[in-house]
Structure 1
Amino acid sequence: MKKLLIGALCAAVILPAAASAAYPDRPINFVVPYAPGGTADSLARLIAHHLGQKLNQSVVVENKSGASGMIGEAYVAHAKPDGYTVLYDATPLAINPALRKMSFDPAKDLMPLTLVSVTPNILVVPENSKLKSVADLVKAAKADPGKLTFTSGGTGTEQFMAGELFRQGWGIDMLHVPYKSGGPAIMATVAGQVNMMFPNISSALALVKQGKLRALAITSPKRNPLLPDTPTVAESGLPGFQTYEWNGMLVPKGTPKAIVQKLQASIREVLQEPEVKAKFNSVGNEVVASTQEDFQKYLTEDFAKWANVVKKAHIAVQ
């Protein structure tokens, strides 16, 4: 009986180790909790392609969109923690807990792998707008509270939260005009139906270059080489202001350490490949490829920042 017990205990230790050593021995599933065709989706597919080549295994991207990303996020949070289900997510993961009732706890049910990239927002106005600078905007808002409008793809989106953080920072009153998604909101800004928007640089850069939108400021701490003449919000009079649309990768809590380390190291190597970095840079995304620890710290700070914005704005949890 003792020999049987010892044998069983040894098997319990050896089998997970063997499984980790063989990883991956079947396709890996990247879950993107947003619709196909967006920036996060296209970049996830780029990483999946290169990661598949590195690991000699298929990496399949699966879109599970809906509920501001929560459907796909919950799917991964409840998945088997074996390294074959990976979440490729963005800023809404840090915003949702402050706004919505969730079926899982992102801080407890998901384990960060790496912060893939960060993308700043840009404050844009219609090309024929009388607002030529942040100073003009703030002056107009204070002169006529509640008259200026800013738009987004909906309450709780990163575009909305960036605008709300900006509004709170300046202590001004602006009217939020939400649309069902970011695309129509950008087009409404181009058409002059609203006064401004805070899209990420990836989605609005082409329209700025075409002269259909005017960029007043960028939300990163430093100017962006794609818009070198556009000042930062901090430069424009709001020190310390910054917002990013980030992309990051996470796995279910409890995924074996050896698998996490192999997966994370491989992804970070892929993100340093010239072709991959060039693609990210071309759409205004700065590759970060962080450690697990740094991504965890970033998430903790982001959760707290957006929770504070929601609290100050008195937005009710849905």
Structure 2
Amino acid sequence: MSPEPTVEQLIAAARARATGDNELALLDAIIAVTRGLAEHTDEAVDQVVRQVRAAGHSWTVIGEHLGVSRQAARQKYADRVERIRQATASGQAIRGRDLEGSLSSALTAAGTDGLSQAGTEHLLLGLLTDGVAAATLEQLGATRDKIRETSRRLFDYPTGQAGAGQPVFSDEAEAALAAAEQLATERTPDCAPIVVNTPQLLAVIATNPGSRARRVLNDLGVDVADIKRLLHCYINLPRTPFGRRSRRAHGSKKQPDRCSFCGHPSSEERRLVAGPEVWICSDCVALCGEILTQPADAQA
């Protein structure tokens, strides 16, 4: 078992993650690092409590070990344990508590804008609610007010009216959620439940060149490379590149080829160019062309 990180190790991790040399940048980074540890701690406890229940132990015994009453233990963990059990048995992905809160906030934001559908720009707003993605966006200067102002300027929103009924997610937003689940699936060992959190969703919508969220980030001057760097320690590297056979696949059914950069599958609109066990889609090729046309000092 790995030892608990020391204060010095946490500060060193924050220094490596900080975007500047001043104390405030370090403060932002240490908040993000420790917040991420707390989220992983909660998920780890949830999973172990599930294992304890599966072994036949009562809520009374679990409460004694947690230092709470039987009723408090059951009230806090029963629903989570059952949700994890069902998802693990079916091989489905579990949405973490931070992600659930973010999705609820995204739908609320769409309703405030008088829209019947929440797009990926609303997912971006929702990600500022809580979790690692919120700390990452805040560290890069993407605040709620800036995102909302930019979205209303870039997109055609109705004015002076409220949306009718509860908004739903747009096709683009639903595709982003599916891609986040795919990302979590590819990067989770077979023996562990698949948990989708805010880092996976932010990684997906930020690296999709055609998404509305990416247009907002570009307009705000947020460098996607910085997002990928800040999220790197929260998203484990895959054992196999996107596009290779899924480790959860059964039999000989071939999984669809996916872009090794953004994770999107091949389609008539998004063709893939193959390399040695890697793929790149047409959108990412176009993005690479845009990057390469910039002066070298602008890419540094």
Q: TM-score range by the shorter chain?
A: under 0.3
Q: Give me the TM-score of the superposition, normalised by structure 1.
A: 0.23
Flag the structure with higher strand content: 1
Greater relative contact order, per chain length (Cα 8 Å cut-off, separation 6+): 1
Flag the structure with higher helix content: 2
Q: Give me the TM-score of the superposition, normalised by structure 2.
A: 0.24
| Higher-Rg member (1/2) | 1
